[in-house]
Amino acid sequence: MSGDLEKFIQQLLRNSEELKLVLEAEAVPRPTDSDSSSSSSSSPSSSESETDSDSKVPGAITRLKQRRKDAKINRKRVLAVVAHIDPYGEEQGCVFIFKSHMKASTAGNTIVQHTVEHAFPILSGFTIAMAQAKRNTIDLTSASMETLKQPQSAEFKLTLHPGHDLSQRSIALTTQDSPHLKPFLTEVKRLKDISVVNSEPGATPSYPWILPYTSKSKPSLLSAEPQDLRHVHRQISELLSEASAGSLGDDAFDTSIIREFWIRSQVEQLYNSGSQTSLKLRIGTFNVNGKLPSQDLSAWVRGPSTGANKYIPPLKELSPFSLEGIATDSSGEGTALPFGKQPDISADSNASSVTDLPVAAAFAGKYDDPDLIVLGFQELDLSASALIYSAETTREDAWLTAALAGLGEKAVEYEKLASKQLVGMLMVVLVKRTMKDCFKRIQTNSVGAGIMGLMGNKGAVALRLAFEPRPTRDARHPRGAVLTFVNAHLAAFDEMYEKRNADFHDISRRLVFDAGAPAPGAPSPQAGGAPPNAPLHAFQSDALFWLGDLNYRIELSDSDARALLADDAVDNLPLLLQYDQLNLARRTDKAFANFIEHRILHFPSYRFNSGALSDNLGYDLKRKPAWTDRVLYIPSVAVRVQQQTYQCHKEITMSDHRPVSATFELRVPTVDGEKLDAFAHGLWKEVSHIEDAEDIPRVSVEPAAIDLGKIEYHREAQQSVLVRNTGRVPFAFRFVPLAPGEPICPRWLRVKPVAGLVRPGEHKEIILTTTVDNPVAAKLNVGDPHLEATLVLHVARGNDSFVVVSGDYARTCFATSMQRLVRMPGPMRMTGVRRLLPDEQAATAPKEVMRLISWLMSYGSDVDNLFLAPGDLAQVDEIREALDTGTELPVPDSNSRAALALSVASCLLQLLDALPEPLVPPHLHQACAETTDRESAFELLNGLPGASVNVWISLTSLLHFLCQQDARMPGALRVRRLAARFAPVIFRDESALSKPISPVGKRKFIMHFVS
């Protein structure tokens, strides 16, 4: 029997799923259930109508017998452990409960059919509790499975708890299938262990593959709480099943994904078209190094002042300087002084230092006062006793007082909304009094990530709140937004990069908010929120702000970092930031994936010292400067976040860090929550049945062939294709590759969107964009210039449609290797792809490069800022065209000469930058950067290929010549700037991941030849 059953269940599963074990069971009838009615299922999946078998059976007695039989069948359940194997071979488990149904077959007899009644993803919260007769419940998780070893004949009661999803109730069943029970539970346990191990870094992992089985289950979008921001930012292409022309993927699964994205985008449109309200935030982070406030914090707390005249009102009790007394006191005894009862201070002591502060007049009036001020502190208290949790709030009070004092005359308009401290980490949130009632459901939490992972010398404190705008005429319950703020202090030291990333994931995973327990003193949670105890994840927000001392350092040597900061620092900041570990982590998705950080325009905020212990910029000589203090955010589709400032406040010098601040304006939709719900549910209803609609989807894709004409280097051209729904049911479509494992289109083409949903009578426009960047050009330059690609658009449960895209590529010397350029018998466009000169006849250097250099020698040597100022884009294109076709380079007249020279110089730089391999081969970079004298620099040139040496010599002579011209810039400065400009081109790094080679060393190498 069970063998057949397995075979049968296996048939219900898709190929990506594997049936592990089955277990026969019976539903526990509820007291109200009569024998004839099946226990009604709470799952929306069993919505189909069952054929009434009664009519087929004549006679009352037989009918009664039949009813009993039906009832028994109706109670029958099959439990199945199913594992989904993803493309990486990872297993995800699920327990399905199948329900039996009687159904009349077309042949006239009744047959048994199974449908999915429940599906429980085997996540960390999932449990099966087991009890025998009247014995105590045994929890699987802590399972001693002794009960199972006893002689079997008994009936067991099983209770399945979903754990994670509280919309699902627990399910009670009985089973007599004892031989299968133990292996079944063991398998569940095994899958559960896997899920626990794999749950990092994600929160509650979603098991989207289950969706199609319970296809009527609603997407998470329709739930009351915001979606997980990490899922929101995932690309649809990462999620869709593997498929190609002629090999169907998992249409049902793809449909569920495409549908969810579609509903989300429709809702997004509603947000964007509706009215919005603005919310202003100021966020600050400050590692105070155990100090107590001793300086005016206004620059940090208040930011650009709105008034030109800074006036500090006589709020004596709030003055930061009143705290100096406490600072000394509390460091010893920890004497607590109640808020607002500070000792008297003299009025003039503050006046002088405060008026010294520079007031950025340019900002005056540009920013409104923030509605919310979120301040994150780290290393609030360095004393050993701080590690032991103490309820004292002395330091919090001191900083709160100082922060309010920093607000000056505005202080009266603000009050504390909430705060949270964990050892050295503190978050204080101030709110504008007039806005206080708009912030609801305030919750705080903290996680330790320090010593032993728990101590709390590192970790995070966080706060979650719901911003609910005031009702308007159109929106009685405006949707508003859930905002979460995390103030983190991650592992210190240069080499602890991986640990910082791990800390981030650890905090992300463990930081949850219990909806049932609001922060003490905060307004009580609103009715209608999440069900009690459903843990809410930090990422389940409409916008998440992550601030703190993240401790990421710069992956360069100490001397490089200092040297780059010392000269032309403003030009060097972007370069330094390339080597910033946080940026590296973000680029490689190691941590803070999908987070946004505003461009940093300020100097590193760490580590300062004074006197002989510091360099000219004030940085501690023993610690490499770093941007340890950061503010990042991750928005959802609902909230638009615009950052207005991102600053480091050098004038606040009391700590070894300088405080960092950021100002944001949020646009929060005020669309009515109920209207929004109705809209989203309406959409859902319209498209929730498309997998099992009876009608076959009909699609027309036009045009079926597109000629893109001339396809050029670095010039985007667009065309569009319309996907029309000519049928009567909505359909989901996606592009699939022609051959398995390939991309859906060649690299010179981009297709957007790659998937979508179209309702009857509607159409979706697909934009095709040609893009030829350097790597693509490198390939195309050596291939057939006629390009053609077949795009395959697959409609779920329907046809594959083809779109043939063609065009003719204009080959270019850009992105062509030096070795090839020297063997070209003529200009690129004028010679066939395969016609190359034999090696003996190769040119000594590429003509294209030489033409540009000699032009610059003749007409450009006295032009200011040559190579440093950008050229005109259109002119650069013209010059490139001249190189490729062999026509004359433009000859300048006296008016146009300077501008033209800048364009020729830009063209040369770009040509060098486009080389598939940099002018100096990568294996020599390290040696070049380490060269200390001229002679060994010249020696290194011997390692270069012949053509490169010739280019090198002509190029450096040109640069040398430029520096000798009496331009407005002093020679040495010009040398430095030119070296800085050419170093990243000539010594282009192969990948962002390889060990960085000193940028300063590269520059010095060039300077050996130029100065």
Q: Does 45 bind another protein (CB under 8 A)?
A: yes
Q: Does 46 bind another protein (CB under 8 A)?
A: yes
Scanning residues 704 to 733, which ones bind another protein (CB under 8 A)? 704-705
Running DSSP on this structure, what letter comes out for residue 620?
B
- What is the smallest separation between the CB atom of 807 and another protein, expressed in angstroms? 15
Strand pairing category for 705-711 and 800-809: parallel
Integer-rounded Cα Rg, in Å, for the chain is: 34
Whether 110 contacts 66, CB under 8 Å: no
The interface mask with another protein, positions 865-904, x = CB under 8 A, is ----------------------------------------
User: Of 12, 235, 221, which Cα lies nearest the Cα of 116?
Assistant: 12
Counting Cα atoms < 13 Å in the Cβ hemisphere of 325 gives: 12
Give how far Cα 757 sits from Cα of 241, 250, 699, 729, 762, Å.
16, 16, 11, 11, 10
- Phi and psi at residue 452, in whole multiples of 5°? 60, 15
DSSP assignment of 611-637, as one string? GGGB-TTSBBTTS--B--EEEEEEE-S
Q: Does 111 bind another protein (CB under 8 A)?
A: yes
- What is the smallest separation between the CB atom of 86 and another protein, expressed in angstroms? 10
Q: Does 644 bind another protein (CB under 8 A)?
A: no
Q: Does 11 bind another protein (CB under 8 A)?
A: yes
Angle 530-484-207 from CA coordinates, rounded to 5°: 55
Work out which of 601, 739, 767, 830 binds another protein, going by CB under 8 A. 739
Task: Return the structure tokens found at 335.
Answer: 């004497």
- What is the smallest separation between the CB atom of 917 and another protein, expressed in angstroms? 33
The interface mask with another protein, positions 609-628, x = CB under 8 A, is --------------------
Sequence-ordered list of residues with C-beta below 8 angstroms from that of 102, at least 6 positions apart, any chain: 50, 51, 53, 70, 73, 74, 110, 111, 112, 113
Q: Does 101 bind another protein (CB under 8 A)?
A: yes
Whether 97 contacts 79, CB under 8 Å: yes
Whether 490 contacts 500, CB under 8 Å: yes
Q: Does 251 bind another protein (CB under 8 A)?
A: yes
Work out which of 212, 480, 604, 871 binds another protein, going by CB under 8 A. 212
| Candidate segments 452-460, 607-615, 791-799, 847-855, binder of another protein by CB under 8 A | 791-799
Work out which of 790, 819, 865, 964 binds another protein, going by CB under 8 A. 790
Q: Does 590 bind another protein (CB under 8 A)?
A: no
Q: Does 245 bind another protein (CB under 8 A)?
A: yes
Q: Does 804 bind another protein (CB under 8 A)?
A: yes
Rounded CA gap, 214 and 210, in Å? 7
Scanning residues 74 to 93, which ones bind another protein (CB under 8 A)? 85, 87
Rounded CA gap, 526 and 442, in Å? 10
Q: Does 51 bind another protein (CB under 8 A)?
A: no
User: Of 491, 553, 540, 552, which Cα lies nearest the Cα of 513?
Assistant: 540
- What is the smallest separation between the CB atom of 211 and another protein, expressed in angstroms? 11
Rounded CA gap, 942 and 945, in Å? 8
- What is the smallest separation between the CB atom of 728 and another protein, expressed in angstroms? 15
Scanning residues 663 to 692, which ones bind another protein (CB under 8 A)? 691-692
Running DSSP on this structure, what letter comes out for residue 867?
T
Rounded CA gap, 38 and 33, in Å? 7
| Candidate segments 22-30, 265-273, 712-720, 738-746, binder of another protein by CB under 8 A | 738-746
- What is the smallest separation between the CB atom of 128 and another protein, expressed in angstroms? 22
SS3 (DSSP) at 787:
strand
Rounded CA gap, 296 and 398, in Å? 13
Q: Does 411 bind another protein (CB under 8 A)?
A: no
- What is the smallest separation between the CB atom of 8 and another protein, expressed in angstroms? 4
Q: Locate tokens 């212990």: which residue?
A: 613
- Phi and psi at residue 841, in whole multiples of 5°? -95, 5
Q: Does 147 bind another protein (CB under 8 A)?
A: no
- What is the smallest separation between the CB atom of 224 and another protein, expressed in angstroms? 26
- What is the smallest separation between the CB atom of 723 and another protein, expressed in angstroms? 12
Work out which of 406, 625, 798, 846 binds another protein, going by CB under 8 A. 798
| Candidate segments 9-17, 406-414, 881-889, 909-917, binder of another protein by CB under 8 A | 9-17
Q: Does 314 bind another protein (CB under 8 A)?
A: no
- What is the smallest separation between the CB atom of 125 and another protein, expressed in angstroms? 25
SS3 (DSSP) at 377:
strand
DSSP assignment of 473-522, as one string? SS-SSB--EEEEEEEEE---SGGGHHHHHHHHHHHHHH-EEETT-PPTTS
| Candidate segments 113-121, 655-663, 710-718, 887-895, binder of another protein by CB under 8 A | 113-121
Q: Locate tokens 């081969």: which residue?
A: 921
Q: Does 117 bind another protein (CB under 8 A)?
A: no
- What is the smallest separation between the CB atom of 888 and another protein, expressed in angstroms? 42
- What is the smallest separation between the CB atom of 227 and another protein, expressed in angstroms? 25
Sheet strands side by side (includes 17-27): 110-121, 91-104, 76-85, 17-27, 171-175, 156-161, 127-132, 138-139
The residue ranges that bind another protein (CB under 8 A) are: 4-5, 7-8, 10-16, 45-48, 85, 87, 101, 103, 105-106, 111, 113-116, 212-216, 242, 244-252, 691-692, 694, 701, 704-705, 738-741, 790, 792-793, 797-802, 804
